[in-house]
Amino acid sequence: MSVETASGEDLHAAMVDQLVADHAEKGLVMRPEVEAALRSVPRHLFTPDAALAEAYRADQAVVTKRIGDEAVSSVSAPWLIAEMLGQAADAVDGGLAGRHVLEIGSGGYNAALLRELVGPSGSVTTVDIDREVTDRATACLTAAGYDDVAVVCADAEQPVNPGRTYDLIIVTVGAWDISPAWTAQLAENGTLVVPLRTFGMTRSWAIRRTGDRLISYSQRLCGFVSMQGAGAHQVRYVDIADGVHLRLDEDQQVDRRAVGELLAQPQTQAWAGVSLPPRTVLADLDLWLASRITDAGQLFVVLTAQQEAVDSGVVAPAWRFGTPAALDNGAFCYRSTLRWNDDDMFDLGACAHGPDAASAAGRMVGQMRAWLDSGSPSPVLQVLPAGTPDGDLPAGTVLDKRHSRFVLTFTPA
C-alpha cells in the first residue's frame, strides 16, 4: 500500500513501529507505557492543516504558526517527543502514572500523550504565552477527547499556579536558562525535562530537583523553536567570511575583522590518529570540547556555515549547522570533518588558521583523544541559583546565566 492510499490508522501504526525500531537502533528501549500512549493518541487530529502522510512522519515536526519566515509554534517531531517522554518516565521515580505534570509550550499532541501516561489519577496542565496557540491546543484536545487537560495562556517565566507543585515539568520550547519559577513549582525530587542551550548547543536535559539545585539524569541532542516572553534570549551571529558565521549564545565579545583575518590565513589540519567504527556516537564530544576550551581560558564559539562555503573549501566543519570552535589571539580552530580509511573506519580532526594554527589544532585533537581515552564520558549538568558563591559550587566548568550557575562535569558512559 502506498503512502498516498494508506489510511490514518495504517500510517499511525507504521509511525510508532518506526519509532520503536529507531530507538532500538540507537541502543534505547522504548518504555511500554510510552509506546502505548503513542499508539493511543491520533496525531493527525493535532495537525489538521497537514496531510495524513505529513502528520505521521516519524522524523518531521509540523509547523503550526509562523511569523514571517520564522517558525514560532509546531507539533514536534515524533522521534523527539518519544525520547523526551522516555527521559521523563525514566527520571521520575515510579514512573508517570498518577503524577501531576506541567507542560510549558502547547501544541496539544504532547499534552494528550502525557494525559495517557499519567492516567485517571494524574493531571496535565499545559501553558503557552500565545493565545492563538492555546486556543488551537484547546480545540485539538477537545476534538481528540482530552478535554480534561487544563490549558492556560500565560508567560511561564512566572508561576503558572502559585503555590502548586508538579512532579514533572516538561518544556517543549528551546530555553537558554532555567526560570526560578520552574524550580519553585517542582516538587522535591521532581523532574524537569527541558531543551536547554548549553555552550551554544541544545540538549533535552532530564534534571532532578534536590533542594535548591538541579542535577541531570540524562540528556539528548535536540532542537526546538525558541522561548518567547521574559525568558527569551537572543542568539547573535557574527559574519567572519562569505557564508561563514559565529553563533554566540552567551555574552562573548568577538572582533569580527580579527577572526576574518585569521580565517583568511592558510589552513592547518591535525588528526587524532584514531580508528573508530562507523557507529561510534560522538554526541557528547562537542560539549567536552566546549568545556575544555573554556577551562583553558580560550573563547568558545560555535561555527556555522552555508553549504557554498563548505563546498568551496573556506571551512570544513564537522557539522555546518554548529561546530565547536576555539578562538584566541593566535589561532581560530574548530573540529573538522571526519577522515575515512579503506577499512571503513574514521579519524577525528581539527582545522586551524593563524600564526599559532599548528599548536591550536594539536591541542584540540589532544582533547579529542583525552575524551576517547576517558571512555567517551557523558556530560552531567548541575544547576544552582545565580547567587551561589564560587566556594559552594561543585568542581567543573562553570557557565553563568541570568538566573542560574551551570556546572558541567563528565562521567564515564
Phi/psi of residue 311, nearest 5 degrees: -60, -35
**Does residue 76 carry a catalytic annotation?**
yes
Catalytic residue among 73, 76, 106, 204: 76
d(CA 411, CA 19): 28
d(CA 122, CA 352): 54
Q: By the 8 A CB rule, do 117 and 37 touch?
A: yes
Angle subtended by helix axes 109-118 and 32-40, to nearest 10: 130
* Strands 186-198 vs 166-171: parallel, antiparallel or unpaired: parallel
d(CA 305, CA 322): 8
What residue has cell string 578562538?
A: 327
**Sheet harboring 331-335: ordered strands across?**
236-241, 244-248, 299-305, 323-328, 331-335, 349-353, 267-271
Q: How many helices (H) and strands (E) does the chain have?
A: 11, 21
Under DSSP, is residue 276 helix (H, G, I), strand (E, B) or coil? strand
What are 285's three cell numbers? 564530544
* Alpha-carbon torsion (284, 286, 291, 296), positive or negative: positive
* Residues 6+ away with beta carbon under 8 Å from 1: 10
User: DSSP characters for 114-141?
Assistant: HHHHH-TT-EEEEEES-HHHHHHHHHHH
First to last CA, the chain: 42
Report the catalytic residues.
Answer: 76
